[in-house]
Amino acid sequence: MKLTKTLMASTALTVAAGAVVAEDMAMEMTLVSWGGAYQASQHKAYVEPYLAANPGVTVTWDESSGEAVAKLRAMDEAGNVTWDLVDVVASDSMRLCDEGLAEELAHDDVLASAPDGTSASDDFGDLIVSDCFVPQIVYSTTFGYRTDLVGDTAPTEICAIFDLEAYPGKRALQKRPIDNMEWALYCDGVEKDAIYDTLGTPEGVDRALAKLDTIKDQVVWWTAGAETPQLLADGEVVMGSTFNGRLFSAIAEQNQPIGMLWDMQSFDLDGWIVPANLPADRKARVMDFLKFATDTQRLADQAKYISYGPARASSAPLVGKHEELGIDMAPHMPTDPANAGNVHVYDYEWWADNRDDLDAKFQAWLAK
């Protein structure tokens, strides 16, 4: 009952708002996302209901989020930004905000409040990592392992990736310093709270790389999220990191013999940014859509199609079952209490400062 009421209320609201200023709003929108199952979940959860409530509006998808920062900068320099709303990871949103390529938003004014009246900025809480960022989902980079290749004792904690004796075989790791350096230090005995302080010193970097050195010749480095599930399915690696949604679909949809290792999963965020300096009519349309697409119900709906946690606190209780598989989605969310016992919280500001420097060191280490 409550669900339908919220749905009807918000739809009525949108229709009413649409009626007032309809003539000032562009009728076309270009949304940018990652393609694949994730974009499909956005289309079903946000776009289809929005289009139903706003007949005449057309939406075009552009699957360019992977190179969104570079493309947006190029568009901005050419003075011809063709995108209206761009889905990016949190660190990219900070970068776009720093470069002046994304619009700074007053979250409480432009976003819907929670059904109980909590303001948007309280509902999203700390997840608003940049003034330009509207969070959608919480995902995590975590490990999956082949249940049939790890022997009798399945790994339950992260440091299994550095334990070649108990779990021989190759591992898949992402080809970037982020996460890997933190896991290495953690497994080398650094306290969780001290990881970034340690990594900030040259000795800390050396220590992390030395730890990674112990497994270097057993690592397959991936660059695309789809690689790890494939490597696991082929038996090329016994364990590997990737985005939790990819592992979910390998396990639940493709029935692969893969288990989840949630320990020290690295939380990350994905969300929208509005390109800076859009024309007034396009901006009006996109802000209207943004308010609708990031309300409590819409974010909860998205979890029906993909195992990523909604970014609003008020959406969590509304998460239901998978649309097609009919399984309960909550236990597959990275934010589920059973999975989130020991998590690694990624420090965006720290990485924004140190990414270029550490990346050079990491790549030099890789090349040796």
Partner 1 sequence: MSNSEPMLAADGTPLKRSLARALRREKMRALMLIAPLLLFILLTFILPVADMLYRSVDNKIVSEILPRTVVALQDWDADSGELPDEAVFAAMAADLQQAAQEKTHTKVGVRLNYEQPGISSLFRKSGRKAKKWNVEEGGPWKEQLIEVHKGWGDPEVWRTIQTYSPRVTQGYYLNAVDMQVGTNGAEMRPENEQIYGILFWRTMKMSLIITLSCIALGYPVAWLLANLPARHANLLMILVLLPFWTSLLVRTSAWKIMLQQQGVINDVLVWIGFVADDSRLVMINNQFGTIVAMTHILLPFMILPMYSVMQTIPPSYLRAAKSLGATNWTAFWRVYFPQSIPGIGAGSILVFILAIGYYITPALVGGTTGTFISNRIAFHISSSLNWGLAAALGAILLAVVLILYWAYDKIVGIDNVKLG
Nearer to partner 1, 92 or 263 (CB): 92
Q: Least Å distance between CB 178 and partner 1?
A: 11
Nearer to partner 1, 60 or 363 (CB): 363
In sequence order, which ranges of the chain are alpha helices (DSSP H)? 2-21, 36-42, 48-53, 68-78, 90-98, 107-110, 120-124, 180-187, 195-199, 202-213, 227-234, 244-248, 280-293, 296-302, 348-367
Residue 117: left if φ>0, alpha if ψ -120 to 50, beta else—which one?
Answer: left
Nearer to partner 1, 254 or 363 (CB): 363
Distances (CA, A) of 246 to 37, 229, 314: 9, 7, 25
Q: Least Å distance between CB 258 and partner 1?
A: 15
Nearer to partner 1, 130 or 140 (CB): 130
Task: Please state whether beta strands 28-32 and 58-62 pair in parallel, antiparallel, or not at all (unpaired).
Answer: parallel
Q: Least Å distance between CB 223 and partner 1?
A: 6
Nearer to partner 1, 44 or 361 (CB): 361
Q: Least Å distance between CB 165 and partner 1?
A: 16
What DSSP element (H or E) covers 273?
strand 258-273
Q: Least Å distance between CB 24 and partner 1?
A: 25
The answer to whether 87 and 270 have CB atoms below 8 angstroms apart is yes
- Residue 283: helix, strand or coil by DSSP? helix
The total of other beta-carbon atoms located within 10 Å of residue 337's CB is 9
Interface residues with partner 1 (CB under 8 A) are 66-67, 69-70, 73, 95, 97-100, 104, 170, 175, 206, 209, 220-221, 223, 234-236, 349, 352-361, 363-368
Which of the 8 DSSP states describes residue 159?
G
Nearer to partner 1, 112 or 232 (CB): 232
Q: Least Å distance between CB 365 and partner 1?
A: 7
Q: Least Å distance between CB 151 and partner 1?
A: 15
Which of the 8 DSSP states describes residue 155?
-
Nearer to partner 1, 41 or 242 (CB): 242
The answer to whether 131 and 138 have CB atoms below 8 angstroms apart is no
The answer to whether 309 and 138 have CB atoms below 8 angstroms apart is yes
